[in-house]
Amino acid sequence: MAKNRKPMVHSAQSVLKSVCAKRSLLVFATVLGILAIFALSCESTRSARKKEEDVLNDLIKAATDFNNMIKWQNYDGASMLVSKDLRDAFLLSVDRIEGRVNVEEIQVAYCEVADKEQDTEADDEDREGKVTLKLVNLTVLPSNRVTTKRYIQHWEYRDGAWFVKADLEEMFR
In contact, 70 and 32? CB cutoff 8 Å: no
Give dist(CA 54, CA 21) in Å, integer.
49
Where in the sequence is the domain holding 135, given as residue range(s)? 42-171
With respect to residue 26, please indicate whether it lies within any of the assigned structural domains.
no
- Strand ranges (E), the chain: 101-115, 127-140, 147-158, 161-164
Beta-bridge mates of residue 111: 131
Give dist(CA 140, CA 113) in Å, integer.
31
Is 119 a residue whose pLDDT tops 50?
Answer: no
With respect to residue 50, please indicate whether it lies within any of the assigned structural domains.
yes
Q: Is 32 helix (H, G, I), strand (E, B) or coil?
A: helix
Tell me the CATH number at 137: 3.10.450.50
With respect to residue 12, please indicate whether it lies within any of the assigned structural domains.
no
With respect to residue 5, please indicate whether it lies within any of the assigned structural domains.
no
With respect to residue 22, please indicate whether it lies within any of the assigned structural domains.
no
Sign of CA dihedral 139, 141, 145, 151: negative
Percentage of the chain modeled with pLDDT above 70: 75
φ, ψ of residue 158 in degrees (nearest 5): -145, 140
The model's pLDDT over 3-21, given as tens digits with 9 standing for 90+, comes to 666 655 566 666 667 767 7
With respect to residue 18, please indicate whether it lies within any of the assigned structural domains.
no
Evaluate if pTM is beyond 0.95.
no
Q: b/e for 101-125, b at 16 or more Cβ within 10 A?
A: bebeebebeebebeeeeeeeeeeee
Number of domains forming the structure of the chain: 1
